Amino acid sequence: MKIALGVSGGIACYKAAEIVRRLQDQGHDVVVLMTRGATQFVTPLTFRALSGNKVYVDMFEGQSSGSDFEGAFDHILVAQSVDLFLVAPASADCMARLAAGIADDFLTTFHLAVTAPVVIAPAMNTRMWQHPSVQANLKTLASRGVRIIDPEVGQMACRTHGPGRLAPVETIVDCVTSLLKRSRDLEGRRILVTAGPTVEDIDPVRYISNRSSGKMGFAIARAARDRGASVVLVSGPTELDFPGAIRVRTTEEMRQAVLENANDADVVIKAAAPLDFRPKSVSAQKIKKRDASLSLELEPTTDILKELGARKNGKVLVGFAAETENGLKNGLEKLKAKNLDFIVVNPVGGPDSAFDSDINRATIINASGQTEEIPPVTKQVMADKILDRVLKLLK
């Protein structure tokens, strides 16, 4: 496979040379893109000699002279030819430019043109790493599906100790290898994913909802898309991005959108947390503040998952159960009642709560009732674990 390795300006640049070698040992073709900062630490010649490929630094190098205009569109052509884009080390400055969509050198322009999965391995001084703007950029990149290989805690070149040191080369190479192994294994599959909460109005200014952030469903949608599936995402109100997502508000709107798209899907993964109840009537006017208590009468909404389970037609159907207690018992009952292929049971409430967290732990129960524990992992990793199981069922 072909890998673009972006190298930005930090003291850990010298480790990128080892990354090139280790990826080549695995049979990959590596093309290196360097920021101008990176060239202060290691010369392009080092990477030219190691990779055997042209090293890209400038956008405009030699393009205004000569007759053939060769390489003028390499930022597009090379971007289209790679299977993965890894930035290691990713400096604070480089991450900021990637997060802002700036395209002022070859690496950052390439980033906007690449459609392959993007992985970054940040490395910097601990105080820089902990700075709110660095953390905000990290969040932005992660929310767009960029895989982050967290730096490790250790002794830094600046003689301080803390988080910020580039993850070990083996960790980076393992992450790339497992991503590439999975890459495109869902090609040709149509996957419908739901995410987020729903909202039910009480009056024109108030509503009831729940704490679902949508992060798990969006992570599944992104991972499935990166693995080649054609993905339809139906989401309740969240701040997360996914191109083409169908946005809904109420459980009934979610139900309609799901049923409209379910027939064409090979797989339906219901990671959303639609409300089970809605106010029996919605007040046309704002309910006025008063001293007396107020009772809301709620009625059940339609159970979307159950409806899907009753008309499964050979689809793989995956559900989620967010439970505060008796997770296994409740999960197993839900699995059977809704005719699911497997269910992912998450704890909610307390320190391990799956809601609005980037980390998730789960018990997966399959159709024969066998269970498997998934220890706390990022929702990105959890998404791939769920899709690995879906793939086995499809095969």
Ligand X SMILES: Cc1cc2nc3c(=O)[nH]c(=O)nc-3n(C[C@H](O)[C@H](O)[C@H](O)COP(=O)(O)O)c2cc1C
Would you count residue 16 as binding ligand X (CB under 6 A)? Answer: no
Question: In this chain, which residue has its C-beta nearest to ligand X?
Answer: 37
Query: With CB under 6 A, what is the number of residues at the site for ligand X?
Result: 16
The CA-atom distances, in angstroms, between 373 and each of 119, 362, 365, 366 are 27, 6, 9, 12
CA distance 316 to 95: 38
Closer by beta carbon to ligand X, 107 or else 316: 107
Instruction: Tell the smallest beta-carbon distance from residue 224 to ligand X (Å).
Output: 32
Instruction: Tell the smallest beta-carbon distance from residue 167 to ligand X (Å).
Output: 13
Instruction: Tell the smallest beta-carbon distance from residue 96 to ligand X (Å).
Output: 8
Output DSSP code: residue 231: E
Residue 74 bridge partners (DSSP)? none
Instruction: Tell the smallest beta-carbon distance from residue 56 to ligand X (Å).
Output: 13
Helices 169-182 and 379-394, interaxial angle, to 10°?
Answer: 40
Among 31, 33, 38, 231, binds ligand X (CB under 6 A): 38
**Cα end-to-end span (Å), the chain:** 24
The maximal CA–CA distance of the chain, rounded, in angstroms, is: 84
Instruction: Tell the smallest beta-carbon distance from residue 94 to ligand X (Å).
Output: 4
CA distance 179 to 174: 8
| Residue 162 φ then ψ, to 5° | 160, -170
Instruction: Tell the smallest beta-carbon distance from residue 361 to ligand X (Å).
Output: 32
Would you count residue 8 as binding ligand X (CB under 6 A)? Answer: yes
Among 1, 2, 11, 131, binds ligand X (CB under 6 A): 11
Instruction: Tell the smallest beta-carbon distance from residue 286 to ligand X (Å).
Output: 51
Would you count residue 6 as binding ligand X (CB under 6 A)? Answer: no
Among 6, 9, 197, 309, binds ligand X (CB under 6 A): 9
CA distance 384 to 387: 5
Among 3, 35, 224, 234, binds ligand X (CB under 6 A): 35
Which span sits near ligand X by CB under 6 A: 2-10, 74-82, 250-258, 319-327? 2-10
Closer by beta carbon to ligand X, 126 or else 357: 126
Residues in the chain: 395
Output DSSP code: residue 263: T
Closer by beta carbon to ligand X, 130 or else 263: 130
Whole-angstrom Cα Rg for the chain: 24
Would you count residue 92 as binding ligand X (CB under 6 A)? Answer: yes
CA distance 64 to 147: 37
Would you count residue 345 as binding ligand X (CB under 6 A)? Answer: no
The footprint of ligand X on residues 174-203 (CB under 6 A) is none
Burial class (CB in 10 A: 0-12, 13-18, 19+), 40: exposed
Q: Which two tokens stand for residue 93?
A: 């400055």
Among 55, 124, 169, 386, binds ligand X (CB under 6 A): 124
The verdict on whether 175 is a catalytic residue reads no
Q: Which two tokens stand for residue 78?
A: 């090379």
Among 3, 5, 10, 389, binds ligand X (CB under 6 A): 10
Among 1, 2, 18, 36, binds ligand X (CB under 6 A): 36
Closer by beta carbon to ligand X, 9 or else 217: 9
DSSP string, 295-353: ---EEEPP-HHHHHHHT-TT-EEEEEEEESS-HHHHHHHHHHHTT-SEEEEEE-SSTT-
| Interface contacts to ligand X, rule CB under 6 A | 8-12, 35-38, 91-94, 123-124, 128
Where in the sequence numbering do the catalytic residues fall?
158
